[in-house]
Chains A and B, each alone.
Chain A
Amino acid sequence: MKRRSWRWLIYLLLGLATLFFLLPVYLVVITAFKDPATIRLATAWQLPETWHWQSFVVAWETLAPKLRNSLILAVSATTLSAMLGSLNGYVLSKWRFRGANIVFPLMLFGMFIPYQSILIPLFQFMSNTGLHGSLQGLILAHVVYGLPITTLIFRNFYAEIPDEMLEAGKIDGAGFFGLYWRIVFPLSISGFVVVIIWQFTQIWNEFLFAVTLTTPATQPITVALAGLAGGEAVRWNLPMAGAILGALPTLIIYIVLGRYFIRGLLAGSVKG
C-alpha cells in the first residue's frame, strides 16, 4: 500500500528522462523537414509550416557516395575481423598454449590505446605502401585494431562450450579444423551476430582513422557529415538531414537487434 504512493514519482522521472533523450531527435527531424528559408533560431522548436522533402534529396545526392564508402568499409572490415576473431578466440579458449596468459592481455591492450599514439606511424605506413587515401588502407586499419575486441568476445563466448564436447570430437579423430567446423562454428552463430553488430556499428561510426587516412573520394559518412556541418553560416536543414541518413543504418540495427547489441556492449568490459 505504502509503495503505491510514490509510484507517480517514478513515472514522472522516467517521463523527464524520455524528454531529455528525445528532444534532440524532435529538433533534428523538424529542422530537416523545414524549408531552409524559414529556418530561424527563434522559431527552431516550431513544427515546419510546410513539410519540405527537398533537403533529404539534396543530402542524399551529396552523401550517397560517402554512404557507399561507409558500407563497403564496414561490411568488409567487419567480415574479416569477425572471422579472424573467431579463430583467435577458438585458439585462446580451447587450445591454450604456454604463454597464452601473457599473449592475451597484450592483445587486449590494443583496444584501449588512444589511436593517436599509433597514428603518425600508421599514416607513414599507409603513405609508403601507397594505401593512403584508399578504402583498402582504412579497411586494413579497422581489421587490425578490431582484432582485440572480436578475439575477446569470441574467446569469452567459446569458454562457455564445455571441453567435453571437444574431447568427444577428438576421440572421433577430428583435428583442429575438424573440431572448429563440426562443433565450434555451428554453435557460434549468435556469437557472430553479436560481433558483427558491434563491429559494424563501431566501424560505421568511427572518425579518427577516417579523417586521417582518406581523401574526399574515399571519405566515409562521418567525415563527410563533419564537413557538411562544419564551417560558418551553416544551412542547418542539410546537416540535420545528413545526420538522419548517417544515423539510420546503425539505428535500425539497434532497434531490430537490440538484444544482441546489448550483449556486445556488455562483452566490451573484459570479464564479459
Chain B
Amino acid sequence: MKRVNKDYLVAFFMLLPSLVLLAIFVYGFIGQTFYVSLTNWGRDPAQALALRPVLEFVGFSNYERLFTSFLEVRFRQDLINLFFFTVFFLVGSLGLGLLLAILLDQSVRGEGFFRTIFLFPFSLSFIVTGTVWRWMLQPQGGINALPTAFGLPPGEFTWLTSRQQIWHFNWQDLPFFTGLVVVAVLFWLTVRAWRHHQRTRAATFGAVALVLALWKLTGARIEILPFPERHGFNLALVGIIIAAVWQMSGYTMALYLASLRGIPEELREAARVDGASEFQTYRLVVFPLLGPITLSAMIILGHISLKLFDLIFAMTGPDLATTSVPSLLMFIRSFRAAQFADGAAIAMVLLVLVATIIIPYLWISLRGEVRR
C-alpha cells in the first residue's frame, strides 16, 4: 500500500514538468496577451520597439475601436470574410467528404487506390497547397485555360485578384439579424423540449424567445456604428475555399469512412429485407448514425478554419485586403507594424471565437468518458 502511494507521487512528479510548461506557455501567455490588449503598446512609436516598453493601461478601448472605428473597417470585413470562408469550407469539405466516403463504401474495385489519392493533400503543408493553387488560379492560365484544351472558350473569372463583392449588407443590421437567429434557435429549442415533454424547459425557452421577438418587433434597434457600412462576400475567397476543400475533404472522407465501416452490416441488411431501397437505407438508417461524427468533424474543421493563416499567406500574401482574415491581420499588425496592443486584441477575439466551439466540445466528449 505504501509503495503504491509513493508511486502515485512519482507519477504526479513525472507529469509536473508538462503541466508547468503548459500552464506558462498556454494560460500564462494568454493572460499576458489579454493584458497587452488592454494597453496602448504600439500607439507611441517611441515605445513600440523598445526592449522594455512603458505601457499605459487603456481598458477595452482597443476592442471598442476594432468594432466601431471607421479606420478599422478592414477588421470587420475580415470577420465577414472569415464567416463566409468557414461556412463554405465546412459545407464543401463535409459534402465532398461524405460523397467520397459513400462512393468508396459501395465495395468498389481499387478502393485503396482512390482512398490514397483523396487523402494525400492532407499530408501536404498549407504552404505547398497554397503555392500550387496560386498557380492553378492564375487568371490567364491554370483552371481558366483548361477549357481551351477541349476547344472551349477560356474561363473569365479572375479568382484571387477578383474585386467583386456580392450579398451586400449593412454592418448596422448585424445586431438585428443576430437577434433574429437567436429567436429562431430559441423557438426550435422550445419545440424540441415540448416534444420531449420537458414542460418547464419548453416554457422557459418559449418565454425568452417571445420577449426577444416582441422587443425586436417593437423596433428596438442597437446601432454599433454612427454610420452605415457596407460589407459583403468577396469573390476572391472562392479560390481559397476551393484549395482548402481540396486539402481537407480527404480528411472528412476518412472520418466518414471509418464510421460507415463501424455500422454493423446487419442493420443495413435488415432495412433492405424490410424493402427499403438503397437510397432509403442511407436516409433512414445510415445518415442518422453519422450525426456524432459530423459534429466532431464540424468542430475540428471549424476551429482549423478560424485559425487559418498559412494557406491565405501562400495564395495571396498577408496584405491583400479582399482575402484577409483576422489571423492574418493580427500577424501584420503585430509583427510588421509593431502595433502589439491591436494585434493582441484581434488575437483575443479569435481566441474567444475558438473557445466558444471548443470548450463545449471538450466538455461533452470528456464527460461521456468519465461516466464510462
Contact = CB atoms under 8 A, between A and B. Distances in A.
A7 B12 CA distance: 58
Contacts of A41: 138, 140-142, 145
B273 to A, nearest CB: 15
Nearest to B300: A269
B342 to A, nearest CB: 11
B108 A3 contact: no
Given A13-B103, A45-B149, A122-B29, A114 B347 contact: yes
A8 to B, nearest CB: 11
B351 A114 contact: yes
A164 to B, nearest CB: 15
Contact of A175 (B10, B22, B114, B368): B10
B94 interface: no
Given A121-B33, A123-B335, A270 B365 contact: yes
Interface residues of B, number: 104
Interface in B127-179: 127-128, 130-136, 138, 140-142, 145-146, 148-149
Interface in B100-123: 100, 103-104, 106, 108, 114, 116-123
A230 B362 contact: no
A114 B100 contact: no
Nearest to A145: B25
Contact of A118 (B29, B126, B340): B29
A120 B33 contact: yes
A214 interface: no
B246 A24 contact: yes
Contacts of B361: 270
Contact of B369 (A106, A110, A271): A271
Nearest to A3: B278
Contacts of A114: 306-307, 327, 347, 350-351, 354
B193 to A, nearest CB: 27
A265 B32 CA distance: 32
A211 B348 CA distance: 20
Contact of B127 (A17, A226, A261): A226
B347 A120 contact: yes
B108 A110 contact: no
B358 A109 contact: yes
B48 interface: no
Nearest to B108: A10
Contacts, number: 283
A104 B99 contact: no
B73 interface: no
A87 B138 CA distance: 49
B243 to A, nearest CB: 9
A168 interface: no
Interface string A97-123: 100010111111110111111111111
A230 B334 CA distance: 20
A229 interface: yes
A1 interface: no
A229 B3 contact: no
A41 B144 CA distance: 10
A24 B125 contact: no
Contacts of A196: none
Nearest to A212: B335
Nearest to A15: B114
B63 to A, nearest CB: 14
Interface in A34-90: 40-42, 44-45, 84, 87-88, 90
A119 B351 contact: no
Give the interface centre of A87, A101, A204, A205 by most chain B CB atoms within 10 Å: A205
Interface string B306-319: 11011001100100
Interface of A: 3, 7, 10-11, 13-14, 17-18, 20-24, 27-28, 31, 40-42, 44-45, 84, 87-88, 90-92, 95, 97, 101, 103-110, 112-123, 125, 127, 144-145, 147-148, 151, 170, 173, 175-177, 201, 204-208, 211-212, 222, 225-226, 229-230, 236, 239-240, 242-243, 246-247, 250-251, 253-255, 258, 261-262, 265-266, 268-271
29 contacts: A3-B278, A14-B108, A17-B103, A23-B146, A27-B135, A40-B141, A42-B148, A44-B141, A45-B145, A88-B14, A91-B12, A92-B15, A95-B7, A109-B358, A112-B303, A116-B327, A119-B331, A123-B334, A123-B335, A170-B3, A170-B4, A176-B7, A222-B127, A229-B130, A240-B135, A243-B132, A250-B124, A258-B119, A269-B300
